[in-house]
A and B are shown apart, each in its own frame.
Chain A
């Protein structure tokens, strides 16, 4: 069974610093991964997708995929208090119609 694992945190980062969130996965054949952000009491929303080895940048966010080591990371530069949320890593499920989610890492940005 495919698995996606994350450290639950909480991860505390000072405002303005780089927050680094990590995720490992079990299926070596997985090609694409996704990061969802979930604010407390709200529903998840997709913030980044990555489909190939290497880095993908979008504003303050960078997603990194390392297929050889089977890990995915999300870097948030110039962290802001509004980045405080739970970040869910997701990867392909057992069929093309599904994705599986990690348990999420809670990020807290301290002023």
Chain B
């Protein structure tokens, strides 16, 4: 079984809809991250969390919110989706002793029409 899973894997939605992307991990890592990837722009950090009570904004948090329901679960929400949020979204985890090695989920391809 995969260590980091994401659901759904693909989603097409309409402008203005609320969307939730979910991430679960079995690696036992405290740190979890949400990134979005756009062609030519690489991976950009949306939010990250050190534990259930510690949530931090990344470089592009506007229009997004997150929830850390448990050590193993970290969800990303788009309250009112817009077309420029069309992207590939990745969840990742890391051990606090080795932040540089991040383990990524398979990604969610989101299309906002």
Contacts and interface: CB of A to CB of B under 8 A. Distances in A.
Given A43-B105, A98-B45, A103-B42, A34 B90 contact: no
A19 to B, nearest CB: 19
Given A103-B42, A104-B42, A97 B104 contact: no
Contacts of B41: 103
Interface in B66-113: 90, 96, 99-102, 104-107
A93 B107 CA distance: 22
B43 interface: yes
Interface on chain B toward A: helix, strand, loop, or mixed SS?
strand
For this complex, into which size category does the number of interface residues on chain A fall?
20 to 34
Interface on chain A toward B: helix, strand, loop, or mixed SS?
loop
Given A43-B106, A44-B104, A97 B31 contact: yes
B110 to A, nearest CB: 15
A99 B42 contact: no
Taking each of B31, B41, B42, B90, which has the highest tally of chain A beta carbons within 10 Å of its own beta carbon?
B42
A34 B42 CA distance: 14
A97 B42 contact: no
A98 to B, nearest CB: 6
B101 A46 contact: yes
Given A43-B105, A49-B100, A88 B42 contact: yes
Given A43-B106, A43-B107, A98 B101 contact: no
B90 to A, nearest CB: 6
B34 interface: no
Interface of A: 8, 32, 34, 42-46, 49, 88, 90, 93, 96-104
